[in-house]
Amino acid sequence: MAHVDRQTWDVVVVGAGGAGLRAAIEAREAGMRTAVICKSLFGKAHTVMAEGGIAASMGNANENDNWQVHFRDTMRGGKFLNQWRMAELHAREAPDRVWELETWGALFDRTADGRISQRNFGGHEYPRLAHVGDRTGLELIRTLQQKIVSLQQEDERDSGSYDAGLKVFQECTVTRVLKKDGRVSGVFCYQRESGRFFVLEAPAVVLATGGIGKSFKVTSNSWEYTGDGHALALLAGAPLINMEFVQFHPTGMVWPPSVKGILVTESVRGDGGVLRNSDGNRFMFDYIPDVFKEKYAQTEAEGDRWYEDPDNNRRPPELLPRDEVARAINAEVKAGRGSPHGGVFLDVSTRMPAEVIKRRLPSMHHQFKELADVDITAEPMEVGPTCHYVMGGVEVDPDSAAATGVPGLFAAGEVAGGMHGSNRLGGNSLSDLLVFGRRAGLYAAEYVAALRDRPAADPRDIDAAEAEALRPFSAEGGGQHADRGPAENPYTLHQELQQSMNDLVGIIRREGEMAEALERLAELRVRARRAGVEGHRQYNPGWHLAIDLRNMLLVSECVARAALEREESRGGHTRDDHPDMDRRWRNVNLVCELADTRADSGEADPALGQIRLSRRETPPIRRDLLELFDKDELVKYLTDEELSR
Amino acid sequence: MSERQANQRAGAYQAHFRVWRGDADGGGLTDFEVEVHEGEVVLDIIHRLQATQAPDLAVRWNCKAGKCGSCSAEINGRPRLMCMTRMSVFSRTETVTVTPMRAFPVLRDLVTDVAFNYTKAREIPAFVPPADLGPGEYRMQQEDVNRSQEFRKCIECFLCQNTCHVVRDHEENKDVFAGPRFLMRIAELDMHPLDAAPASGLDRKSTAQDEHGLGYCNITKCCTEVCPENIKITDNALIPLKERAADRKYDPLVWLGNKIRRRTE
């Protein structure tokens, strides 16, 4: 233990995407010495992949827009399972978070009168997404990165050191949140480059680690998305909610195989792109669900008119929320009306002149040209569903982003649960990152400022974390589990996990398959104990993957267990054996907690389930928020008993 | 049908790869025979090597879609993103050699220490918000933001920094030269319609020349050639910046104005 370097900070932020960087800025501006830890280089976080835009009801493109309309759309998109207070705060604060970015140097696309341009997106009633072509995430991450650099420049002027008040530890990974007497005391980390361990002692830790997509085979997510924050929270004793809700984005690339899953932005549809099956039909008109019947065009002619005259026409069904579109594509392919490589056709070439396509969708034009030899200005794309986003995550207090039951632990962005309910609307992620990233940083700073004493990291916990991280090096010969079987290749284990989750807990779910998934996960957990690596600790990807497997196996079990339990279909959870939405399930959150607090400390039996599931009723929606909806609509979601309250 | 036959039908073949392996103390090229499937890119092959032959092969990557700029390397001597280099650009019998970026110190295998770039980023003064405009009050025309937006497409892959001959073979120039990426950042801020740097007494053009080594650039356009985002770094950022810097430097009125303003501050 003595050889593990220890540093003291006020707030530690885990993750340097939109939520993490926004949290760090807020904590630093509140006077806290703040450390950011990220797995990749500074500025490479998965947020750069976001394409379409940031949803905020600024009303620049349609003055009828306001936070109440945005709130309504968000609740509808999430099928009313959303933590309504989070949805309210998000809708109210998103415009301020976008405007603030301009004061830090962001350059959004403009309207004719010089304000921030806003585009249409699925599930949003008005054009609402602030954007920069189709590279909005890059603009967001670069703006936050440059704001952080500007704060570091201030610190350098004042103290002579860029890193005095705000430091980024890049290419470092946290493997444990440390606690003392129930409160957060810091994090245990390793540095990628050297393999060296270190501890950052801090009374407040903000988890901003993003999602879990790397547990699935076909995904739009990068290698970083291994559910680290979800697992760190579980291991620290904080519950996760809504883990059964996984968003499959309807349009990922399907060919060539090596790029299968890479995202095709929803802006393609927002700007006029249409979906067709192999018969050439715009099949989405056949898939408008009852709850949305009044809000979507019934004919192609009406849908086409909407782009020019949205006040007198209804939007085309290509712009239904993502869960609806993904299921429809899945059904078309299954019915034998798919494209040659197992997707459907997404076409802009017949809808817009080539020059407009290149200007509005430059990344898509580039991506298809370079990776698939497809010129999207001349021919349709082939697209199909891809695992994109997890709605579930750490249960948090809606106002402060504090995790339940672990003082000092906060979570923001994709790793936090509740905000998006059962399905997230496009564009609501970037705004979520900014709104709740800021809140997490603010309340973490408040929490630290109010402390009278700071919990110290326990040397025994540091030793245990070190032993856990080093276990893959002793898996072969002489290791404590060597007697149970040969060392396992972590890459093979990862591939088997991804295949299992894809096949058995994917976009359409069945009871028997999910039960089988749980059995396979148990078997993989046993084998993962023997995941071994070659070589040494310096920049060793095999070792890093062996460590990440713990996290992926934990969150995969959460997804499978919760999905098996929820016997209805809603948003990002579709049960073949329970195809209807059931109002009695609306106010039920499924809560995942660690079944055995020794889980994966080397003592718990990996063959046994690691996750305990319970049900929690959500608080009733505040009356003034309910009154934003017509009663006719509410009866589709709320039980008669809830309505009569 | 056997797996091998299936692969052949799908266009799979064995390729010959040479990958640089080693660390700061030295290393060399290692030969691999590795399977390639239809539609794959160089990064797919590096991943296959990790999964089947060299589990500790170090490579930096993230998005695998040309958006994050992490997987920069030199492929057959050309600086490129591994995720955007399709195997179909090579013949099946051609040896594909992958080496780390040359201008930066090697950490391990294909991973280099790119700290130089983060150091330079900190030396460029940040955007200065106009004092009289609050959040939500910014008004800019699209045609006025187009120029800076082109430069903000930069994914910071640092291939231009790696290629620029001012530093590629001249370690000694690194102290005084920001490199194309960060000279372009200065141009971006200088062309931002609402940047209030001039009002705050900061002349970005002259600092580009005096503090960030713009004069070292002799517009050979190597940076533009390797840019995976096709940003016209030389034509649209560096040359205009040079012209503006020259205007300032040799315009006697500007020179006099600067002198007077400095004295009165």
DSSP A576-624: TTB-S--GGGTTEEEEEEESSTTTTTTSS-TTS--EEEEEEEPPPPPHH
* Tally of domains within chain A: 1
Instruction: Give me the pLDDT at residue B264, please.
Output: 43
Give the per-residue pLDDT at A601. 53
- A624-640 average pLDDT score: 96
Q: Predicted confidence band at B1 (pLDDT cuts at 50, 70, 90)?
A: very low
Mean of pLDDT values over B74-103: 96
Check if A249 is active-site.
yes
In A80-216, alpha helices (H): 84-103, 136-159
Whether the CA torsion A334, A340, A343, A344 is positive or negative: it is negative
Residues B101 and B181 in one domain: no
Q: What domain range is A262 assigned to? A: 248-387
Half-sphere exposure of A573 (CA within 13 A, CB side): 32
Look up the CATH number of the domain holding residue B36: 3.10.20.30
In tens, the pLDDT along A406-418 reads 999 999 999 999 9
Q: Which of B65, B68, B136 is nearest residue A262 as measured by Cβ atoms? A: B65
Residue B253 C-alpha, separation from nearest chain A C-alpha, in angstroms:
30
Average pLDDT over residues A107-115: 98
Structural domain includes residue A274: yes
CB pair distance less than 8 Å for B62 and A222: yes
- In this predicted structure, the answer to whether residue A125 has a pLDDT above a threshold of 50 is yes
Among positive and negative, which fits the CA dihedral A400, A402, A405, A407?
Answer: negative
pLDDT in tens, A472-499: 998 754 444 445 678 899 999 999 999 9
Which tens digit of pLDDT belongs to each residue from A568-600? Answer: 999 999 999 999 999 999 999 999 999 977 655
Q: Chain B partners of A476 at a C-beta cutoff of 8 Å?
A: none
> Under an 8 A CB cutoff, do B60 and A41 touch?
yes
Task: Note the pLDDT of residue A478.
Answer: 42
> How far is residue A299's CA from residue B242's CA, in Å, rounded to a whole number?
57
User: Is residue A367 one of the residues assigned to a domain?
Assistant: yes
Q: Are residues B157 and B199 in the same domain?
A: yes
Which of B58, B135, B148 shows the shortest C-beta gap to A539? B58
The pLDDT score that the predictor gives to residue A477 is 45
Is residue A598 assigned to a domain?
no
In which domain, by residue range, is B101 found?
3-112
The pLDDT of residue B256 is 57
Tens of pLDDT, residue by residue over A339-385, are: 999 999 999 999 999 999 998 898 899 999 989 989 999 999 999 99
Judgement on whether residues B25 and B81 belong to the same structural domain of the protein:
yes
* pLDDT at residue A101 tops 90: yes
Place of tokens 């040397």: A459
pLDDT score at B136? 97
CATH number of the CATH domain containing A351: 3.90.700.10
B119 and B105 belong to one structural domain: no
Last residue of a domain, one of B66, B91, B112: B112
pLDDT (0 to 100) of residue A506: 94
Q: Comparing C-alpha atoms, which of A430, A424, A382 is closest to residue A251?
A: A382
CB A137, CB A151: distance < 8 Å: no
DSSP labels for B8-54? HHTT-EEEEEEEEEEETTEEEEEEEEEEE-TT-BHHHHHHHHHHHT-
B26 and B92 both lie in a single domain = yes
Whether B92 and B137 map to the same domain: the answer is: no
**Nearest CB partner across the interface for B44, out of A41, A104, A258:** A258
A153 to chain B nearest CA, in Å? 7
Residue for token digits 């109440």?
Answer: A68
Q: Are residues B64 and B184 in the same domain?
A: no
pLDDT of A324 > 80? The answer is yes
Q: Can you tell me the distance from the alpha carbon of A606 to that of A488, in angstroms, rounded to the nearest whole number?
A: 15
Active site residue A578: no
| Same-domain pairing of B71 and B98 | yes
Q: Which residues of A133-161 are buried (b: 16+ CB within 10 A; e: fewer)?
A: bbbbbbbbbbbbbbbbbbbbbebeeeeee
Q: Which of the residues A269, A388, A520, A570 is marked catalytic?
A: A269
Q: Is residue A317 part of a domain?
A: yes
pLDDT bucket at B257, cuts 50 / 70 / 90: low
Q: Number of structural domains, chain B?
A: 2
Q: From B58, B87, B112, give the residue that closes a domain.
A: B112
Indicate whether A100 pLDDT > 80.
yes
Give residue-wise pLDDT tens across range A180-227: 999 999 999 999 999 999 999 999 999 999 999 999 999 999 889 999
> B24 and B124, same structural domain?
no
| Position A617 confidence tier, pLDDT thresholds 50, 70, 90 | very high
| pLDDT at A482 (0 to 100) | 46
CB pairs under 8 A between A and B: 175
Peptide bond into A256 cis (omega under 30): yes
Q: Does A325 have pLDDT greater than 50?
A: yes
Residues B248, B132 share a domain: yes
Question: Integer distance in angstroms from the first to the last C-alpha of chain A?
Answer: 58
Which CATH number fits the domain that encloses residue B243?
1.10.1060.10
The reply to whether B108 and B229 lie within a common domain is: no
Residue A264 lies in a domain: yes
Q: Is the pLDDT of residue B251 over 50?
A: yes
Distances (CA, A) of A539 to A451, B105, B106: 38, 14, 11
Tokens coding A511:
């009871």
| Euclidean distance between CA atoms A643 and A509, whole angstroms | 31
Residue A256 has pLDDT above 80, yes or no: yes
Q: What is the mean pLDDT of residues A387-416?
A: 98
Going by C-alpha positions, the residue among A463, A488, A490 that lies closest to residue A602 is: A463
Q: How confident is the model at residue B3 (pLDDT cuts 50, 70, 90)?
A: low
Answer yes or no: are the C-beta atoms of A409 and A238 closer than 8 Å.
yes
pLDDT of residue A479: 45
From B87, B112, B137, give the residue that closes a domain. Answer: B112
What confidence score (pLDDT) does residue A474 get? 85
Q: Please give the residue that has the higher pLDDT: either A259 or A519.
A: A519
- The token pair at A99 is 């405007």
One domain for residues B38 and B169: no
Contact list in A for residue B65 (CB cut-off 8 A) is: 49, 259, 262-263, 367, 371
